């Protein structure tokens, strides 16, 4: 049983800020505390302000580490540890977590640096020594200026470990993952974005400096027995694997390695399928452009088991646009380009599930393939390239007229972060494995579906699964002559043509420097892109299914 006194402090920048200190009021549970804190902080502004003034003296006299009502001058001079919520106010359990941490900070225990991982992470302890939270300051991320593990060097906002995610922006994504994990479906631990002041964190300087204020993620510590890297997957429950996989697909998680999955054994620690999994570390999710995800579960047998009815229901009820609104409301710092990646991946997941694919099928379609030293676009990326090709409809006729203009249109379809090239020169102390490629290549060549060159390529391509009618239609009716006798192509016919061939042509060669992004599209283009994308899905899925079935047939008919 815990005893708390609750109060709310207010400042003009951050609104309501809860603080507590051990006291007389009795609460039955943390959920009750969380609810009470939330209600309290949402109370009438004037009342809370008055209350804040009333409690200011109590706060000071007790030297609590809580959120106080102070001016910025007072704030500077005050040196008690402080914590305030910057993001996640309305998320469940967040207030209880922050309150608990605030109380723990009274004990003056220093954060315990976590040895694993590439970024700076710290365990926070309760007075009794139990770990209660993990905090990760954003300036200690891998490559960020104060990284304590030798991976420092870049400025906030420059490309990070993954070029599609900037340094200093992984914290938003950790909170986004928690916000999007509706009903705790995947079990992302309660997470908030906080500002922590007057606490000893790492700073890369030899000068003695007072502990700085840091923006950090704060996540509930989850008791666990090991991580997924310590065990074979046979012990993991099917639903745990599916739920984490569903989250990863929605977020296009680039970093779901086994160390980012905590394992809690069931009562019988050796029972098959009994262990529950807890996903952590979502900082490399929601990239600004499509990228190559890493899904550790991809080859676990559980991922090939069909989704259960309740999982299918959950997926069916996902609303990509509501999720986008949620992120915009709760996390204004998340970029539109990342939100659009969420929308594309959610639609892809929903449609693929409705088509009957299992988690492994879906994960594979999102992952790039390597052939020798060459990497090829994923099925999802190919789809998006094709849906973007359709957007250039207005300019399509121009492509055949001039190679240069055609190149421009192709360039527009891919995202090249010119900052990347510039910023890579400023990198220092960055291990070779994460340095930028020395040369930025041209974008991958994609078929110019209206140029003569591309048309002839199409005819050469193996169109085994394309039905004859479409084939015949596309070859005879898509080209007309303009008044100068040049071939021009009607957009509608072009669409029909593209639809019929887009999954028959070989994967376009992937170029490591290119990425498919959506942030640059106007609202109108974005809507049109999504329309195109959804139209293309059934054909792509059918094609994929046929590939799978033919492989299966090959397998069963083989005699050894
Ligand atoms: N919510 C949590 N509960 C328990 N332990 C945690 C939690 N979050 C992180 N940890 C522990 O802290 C370690 C480092 O955390 P995390 O993986 O998030 O850091 P990172 O620096 O981003 O790592 P990476 O190099 O994998 O990106 C984890 O391996 C895990 O042992």
Is 351 in the same domain as 391? no
Is 23 in the same domain as 165? yes
Q: Is the CB of 134 under 6 A from ligand 1?
A: yes
Positive or negative, the CA dihedral 136, 141, 147, 149 is: positive
Q: Is the CB of 38 under 6 A from ligand 1?
A: no
What value does the mean pLDDT of the chain take? 73
Q: How many CB atoms lie within 10 A of CB 465?
A: 14
- Structural domain tally of the chain? 3
Best mutation site among 281, 282, 283, 296 for ligand 1, i.e. most ligand atoms within 8 A of its Cβ? 281
Best mutation site among 112, 134, 256 for ligand 1, i.e. most ligand atoms within 8 A of its Cβ? 134
Burial class, 443, CB count within 10 angstroms (exposed 0-12 / middle 13-18 / buried 19+): buried
Q: Is the CB of 121 under 6 A from ligand 1?
A: yes
Tokens of 380: 């999802």
- Give the model's pLDDT for residue 400: 34
Is 121 in the same domain as 156? yes
- Indicate which residue's Cα is closest to atom 31 of ligand 1: 116
Q: Would residue 321 count as lying in a domain? A: yes
- Give the model's pLDDT for residue 369: 87
Q: Would residue 76 count as lying in a domain? A: yes
CA dihedral 49, 53, 56, 58 (to 10 degrees): -110
Is 392 in the same domain as 446? yes
Picking from 503, 499, 475, 479, the residue whose alpha carbon sits closest to that of residue 489 is: 479
Is 35 in the same domain as 70? yes
Instruction: Give the domain-ending residue among 150, 185, 220.
Output: 220
Q: How many CB atoms lie within 10 A of CB 527?
A: 11
- Which ipTM score applies to this complex? 0.98
Instruction: Give the domain-ending residue among 204, 220, 236.
Output: 220
Is 77 in the same domain as 172? yes
Instruction: Give the Å distance between the CA of 438 and the centre of ligand 1.
Output: 31
Is 168 in the same domain as 243? no
Instruction: Give the Å distance between the CA of 186 and the centre of ligand 1.
Output: 17
Regions of the chain short of the pLDDT cut 50 = 1-28, 30, 40-74, 76-77, 394-403, 405-406, 409-410, 415-510, 549-560
Whole-angstrom distance, CA of residue 250 vs CA of residue 363: 11
Whole-angstrom distance, CA of residue 496 vs CA of residue 473: 9
Note the pLDDT tens digit of each residue in 510-529: 455 578 999 999 999 999 99
Whole-angstrom distance, CA of residue 231 vs CA of residue 503: 39
Q: Is the CB of 219 under 6 A from ligand 1?
A: yes
Is 214 in the same domain as 264? no
- Give the model's pLDDT for residue 11: 36
Helix (H) or strand (E) holding 197: strand 191-197
- Indicate which residue's Cα is closest to atom 23 of ligand 1: 117
Q: Would residue 364 count as lying in a domain? A: no
Instruction: Give the domain-ending residue among 167, 188, 220.
Output: 220
First to last CA, the chain: 67
Is 205 in the same domain as 239? no
- Non-local (6+) Cβ contacts of 62 within 8 A are 21
Picking from 61, 1, 60, the residue whose alpha carbon sits closest to that of residue 26 is: 1
Q: Is the CB of 222 under 6 A from ligand 1?
A: yes
Is 333 in the same domain as 443? no
- Maximal CA-CA distance, the chain: 89
Instruction: Give the Å distance between the CA of 115 and the centre of ligand 1.
Output: 9
Q: Which pTM was predicted? A: 0.73
Instruction: Give the Å distance between the CA of 123 and the centre of ligand 1.
Output: 10
**Range(s) of the domain holding residue 289:** 228-358
Positive or negative, the CA dihedral 86, 91, 96, 101 is: negative
**Chain centre distance of CA 126:** 31
Q: Is the CB of 221 under 6 A from ligand 1?
A: yes
Q: Is the CB of 118 under 6 A from ligand 1?
A: yes
Is 408 in the same domain as 388? yes
Q: Would residue 363 count as lying in a domain? A: no
Strand partners, 369: 376
The SS3 assignment for 289 reads strand
Is 163 in the same domain as 76? yes
């Amino acid at each position: 049983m815990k005893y708390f006194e609750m109060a709310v402090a207010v400042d003009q920048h951050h609104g309501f800020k809860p603080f507590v200190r051990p006291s007389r009021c009795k609460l039955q549970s943390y959920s009750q505390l969380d609810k009470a804190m939330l209600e309290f902080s949402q109370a009438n502004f004037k009342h809370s302000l008055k209350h804040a003034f009333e409690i200011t003296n109590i706060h000071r006299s007790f030297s609590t580490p809580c959120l106080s009502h102070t001016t910025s001058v007072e704030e500077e001079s005050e040196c008690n540890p402080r914590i305030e919520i910057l993001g996640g106010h309305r998320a469940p359990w967040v207030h209880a977590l922050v309150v608990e941490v605030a109380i723990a900070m009274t004990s003056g225990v220093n954060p315990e640096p976590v040895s694993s991982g590439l970024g700076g992470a710290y365990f926070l302890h309760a007075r009794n020594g139990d770990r209660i939270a993990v905090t990760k300051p954003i300036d200690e991320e891998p490559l960020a200026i104060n990284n304590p593990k030798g991976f420092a060097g870049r400025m906030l906002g420059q490309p990070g470990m993954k070029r599609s995610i900037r340094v200093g922006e992984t914290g938003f994504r950790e909170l986004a993952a928690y916000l999007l994990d509706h009903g705790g479906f995947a079990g992302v631990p309660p997470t908030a974005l906080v500002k922590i002041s007057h606490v000893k964190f790492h700073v890369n300087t030899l000068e003695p400096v007072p502990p700085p204020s840091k923006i950090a993620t704060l996540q509930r510590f989850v008791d666990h027995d090991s991580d997924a890297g310590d065990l074979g997957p046979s012990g993991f429950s099917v639903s745990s694997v599916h739920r984490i996989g569903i989250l990863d697909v929605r977020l296009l998680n680039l970093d779901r390695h086994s160390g980012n999955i905590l394992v809690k054994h069931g009562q019988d620690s050796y029972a098959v399928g009994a262990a529950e999994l807890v996903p952590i570390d979502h900082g490399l999710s929601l990239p600004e452009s499509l990228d190559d995800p890493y899904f550790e579960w991809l080859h676990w047998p559980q991922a090939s088991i069909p989704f259960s009815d309740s999982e299918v229901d959950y997926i069916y009820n996902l609303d990509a646009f509501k999720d986008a609104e949620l992120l915009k409301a709760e996390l204004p710092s998340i970029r539109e380009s990342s939100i659009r990646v969420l929308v594309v991946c959610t639609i892809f997941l929903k449609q693929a599930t409705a088509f009957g694919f299992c988690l492994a099928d879906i994960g594979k379609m999102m992952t790039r393939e390597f052939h020798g030293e060459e990497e090829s676009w994923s099925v999802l990326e190919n789809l998006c390239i094709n849906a973007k090709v359709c957007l250039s409809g207005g300019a399509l006729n121009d492509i055949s007229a001039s190679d240069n203009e055609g190149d421009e249109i192709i360039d527009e379809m891919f995202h090249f972060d010119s900052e990347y090239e510039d910023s890579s020169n400023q990198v220092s102390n960055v291990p070779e494995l994460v340095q930028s490629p020395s040369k930025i290549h041209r974008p991958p060549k994609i078929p110019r579906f209206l140029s003569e060159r591309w048309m002839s390529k199409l005819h050469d391509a193996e169109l085994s699964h394309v039905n004859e009618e479409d084939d015949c239609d596309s070859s005879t009716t898509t080209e007309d002559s303009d008044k100068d006798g040049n071939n021009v192509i009607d957009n509608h016919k072009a669409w029909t043509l593209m639809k019929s061939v887009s999954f028959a042509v070989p994967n376009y060669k992937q170029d490591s420097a290119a990425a498919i992004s959506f942030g640059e599209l106007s609202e109108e283009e974005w809507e049109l892109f999504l329309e195109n994308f959804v139209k293309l899905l059934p054909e792509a899925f059918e094609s994929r299914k046929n590939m799978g079935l033919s492989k299966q047939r090959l397998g069963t008919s083989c005699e050894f």
